[in-house]
Structure 1
């Protein structure tokens, strides 16, 4: 239990914003106007242990531990399209991105980190669903399968994060980033032909803050206008800010300072970049979302608290934005919640 002085310091660590505050355990208020969008179940429009979210700008995509990839209406929660990964007995995907296709021509593709099969699967992006049509089972064309098991360049142990950099005209793939864990704990980059280019960082516990070391780089988010990327270095309890070449700019948080206070992290898993340049960070162990200023590392808001009620969080894996709404997937609660902006 924190002492009185620590409680005062914790209470003033965040600026007042719509009455947001944290308690002595670093917990924020319940998510604003939250409701369960996807509940527990195995049919389309339901989920079991969802661990992956992505946005295509109009729809929400979710992957759960049944290896189903679902395209979801973000207002109603209805599944409009879905498919299942070709193999799933060994494990399920833990990462996904919607981005420019390696085939170019301005077309998009679905990139899935097929974690326990040591590869990234690239699928053709489907056409828009018909209005008021029941969920359609897809058989998307496989564009490419990247990687195999191993430690060599271009191989993976457990790929878990994917980010797609388009060319400046938005018509072609410039670079693909893939984060992995399981001993490799690095980020690899691939060119438009999906050939290995370079490795960023390596496995480490982050004792030297000048080095790029990772322990489960679970999420990668690109900030293309500012030529930087953010990495959720989950087991090191920090977020990395790097340029797009992989050179370190700064770390937010420290492995030795994992905790509950604002600005500290405990197993950050998911990231979303906001239009104002701030960053939403989902913490698996703290069961909350923090809004972070990446320039200073300051925590600007803390949202969510531990629990199974609506507006509370139970082992959140990831966060996504579609329009003005935010979505968070919770493994323990077997659901996806939607909530409003709280700042």
Structure 2
């Protein structure tokens, strides 16, 4: 039976329990549900999950905790929702490499902290701001297992592929025939190529060391283009404006799907571009898909963790 049928069966079972025993029965469920959920998650893990975890472990060994290279130039946004990121209290934590369990372990070992002291020596502490430039494992699986249609014979492009997380996810969790990562930083390109070579992903993954502005002529060859927090922390606002205008001009094949974090509207709101968003893209309503995926991944439709809801899916409209 599927999850909907199982829920109905559970409700029926509860209704059949003697009234004097219902509280005891539900109390047992409450006490044991977390362990039962974790056991179910472990049983559902496939070889693809295990391989992705192995890749994560290996990349963590190759990178510092902030998952950056000295060759990278990271900027603090001067406008928009992330403009309040104080460089002294903002920590760059790669969501692909470091999930909450790993971060908790690092904090326990004294290698990382979630808080900072606002007045040295006092107990007046505040939480650090965590920023990620990569999709988490849950986000990656959501994209390729639930959000997107069957990608058999399709081409996927990840702009600013960094560690290659999205590329490995596309390889393991979809049938996409061509998966390309365009990355400006050579150190990250070299890292991705080593992983692709070692795990024999070369048949479908290609790494391109290039500025996306020099790759515009190829954009219409792709069926899915992914833009995950790719410009805001790496470009001045003038450069962001130019790159978005170039994407608008060059991503014009009707039906092309864009996945973005954050939304395109949020990315454009402080750039004063001439982009007519309503004539370029149609956002796909994925609320029900998100709820269903949250039930499968978290055991509830609307968890505190909003990782999946932060992902936006668009379809390119015909130009008139």
- Write 1 or 2 for the structure with the bigger share of strand: 1
Q: TM-score range by the shorter chain?
A: under 0.3
Q: Which has the higher helix share?
A: 2
Task: Please report the TM-score for the alignment, with normalisation by the length of structure 2.
Answer: 0.27
TM-score (norm 1): 0.26
Name which structure has the greater RCO, CA cutoff 8 Å, separation 6+: 1
Structure with higher Rg: it is 2
